[in-house]
Structure 1
Amino acid sequence: MLLETARLRLRRFRPEDAPVFAAYRSDPAVARYQSWTAPVPPESAAALVRKFAGGDPGQPGWFQYAVELKADGCLVGDVGVNLHENRMQAELGFTLAAQRQGQGYATEAVWAVMRDLFEGRGLRRLSAECDARNLDSVRLLERLGFQNEGRRPANTWIKGEWTDDLLFGLLASHWRKAASPASI
């Protein structure tokens, strides 16, 4: 286990996570604003899970945390961190199974990662971006203290259409001002 909250464990992916990973990432509602196309074939999910399992959260590049419920060990989503070469800033991404949304799990998981990056590793800045239509992600980022830093109109060609991207950022100096989620 790498990180823990009141209800969640954020850990490395394991081979046995592949079927659940494939299931939630194959949900068209979950994939709608993401870079992948549903469904995610089992062999692709297994390859991604193997790749994620071999990652190093302390090295530059993407590291994907598996998010599981402490109560039953069920995999409910993932949080990605793209650590910059300078190890002072990172980009965040997150995905949660549709049936687990609206229960505060994404907020709790992303908050745990933010706390580790700012307080544990001393990063200076975090960023995130999302499709401007993804209002749930926008609200989550704002709830966690991220500031909307801009909009790139018709910036991303994805799934047969041009989409607007919203850019978010949070400086370590503003971290302490951000309200902690009540569930933590």
Structure 2
Amino acid sequence: MTAASPAVLAPAYPLHTDRLILRPIRPDDAEAMHVYKSDPDAVRYVPYPPLTLAEVEQRIATTWSRSSFVEEGDAVCLAVEERETGVLVGDVVLFWRSESDRAGEVGYILDPRSAGRGYATEAVRALLALGFDGLGLHRITARLDERNVSSARVAERLGFRREARLVESEWFKGEWSTTLVFALLEDEWRGRSGAVTP
């Protein structure tokens, strides 16, 4: 963050895109989130196993309901819902990794039933605006399992460049995982035509 940045960033929710609303996760989202967070295929590349409903409820009550940034290390998770129907289609997360380096990281997971509609790209674009315009970040990364081809395509569509391929760098869910590191700088973001604050 810059010296002029507020000590606490509490964005004005909800965030709107053409087709989506991003808002803090609520306790009543648990059942809809459980549908995809209990699906082994949907959570294959995220850092938790398929979750029970009770586990989803517990995470919402603790870490997943944070809606503001107070200090580096904080993460804000947002529910993603269709504007037209109000249906929850996934969730996204913005991590504030470093104050001095003005660095962040994004993550995203969508309900497989909503795949193929460009929702992930649209939701992460709004998250990038929050990071660059709201939090004053200089650099945002996305770390992906190499096998997660659809997530890599999202990063590429948003202008991220692939910076590293870390071969068998993590023991992940019982096997070695090769990690791809994508990154986007603030100047690169502002140079793209789609970089508009939601």
Above 0.5 in TM-score? Answer: yes
User: Any stretches of 5+ residues in structure 2 without a counterpart?
Assistant: 1-12
Q: Deviations over 1:35-75 (max 9, x none)?
A: 1112x111100011122454143223111011111111111
Q: Structure 1 pair 157/116, CA: closer, same or farther in 2 (3 Å)?
A: same
Q: Does 1:33 align with 2:19?
A: no
SS in 2 for 1:91: strand
Structure 1 counterpart of 2:91, one-letter code: D
Which structure dedicates a bigger proportion of its chain to helix? 1
Q: Does 1:79 align with 2:59?
A: no
Runs (4+) of structure 1 exceeding 3 A deviation are none
Q: Structure 1 pair 113/53, CA: closer, same or farther in 2 (3 Å)?
A: same
Alignment map for 1:153-172 (pairs within 5 Å): 153-172=167-186
Is residue 69–residue 75 contact of structure 2 (8 Å, CA) maintained in 1?
A: no
Give the structure 1 partner of residue 124 of structure 2. 110
Work out the number of aligned pairs and report it. Answer: 181
User: Any stretches of 5+ residues in structure 1 without a counterpart?
Assistant: none
SS in 2 for 1:84: strand
Give the structure 2 partner of residue 13 of structure 1. 25
TM-score if structure 2 supplies the norm length? 0.85
Structure 1 counterpart of 2:89, one-letter code: V
Is residue 68–residue 75 contact of structure 1 (8 Å, CA) maintained in 2?
A: yes
Is residue 24–residue 67 contact of structure 2 (8 Å, CA) maintained in 1?
A: no
Is residue 163–residue 181 contact of structure 2 (8 Å, CA) maintained in 1?
A: yes
Q: Structure 1 pair 179/27, CA: closer, same or farther in 2 (3 Å)?
A: farther
Alpha-carbon RMSD across the aligned residues, in angstroms, is 1.7
Taking only the aligned residue pairs, the percentage that are identical comes to: 36
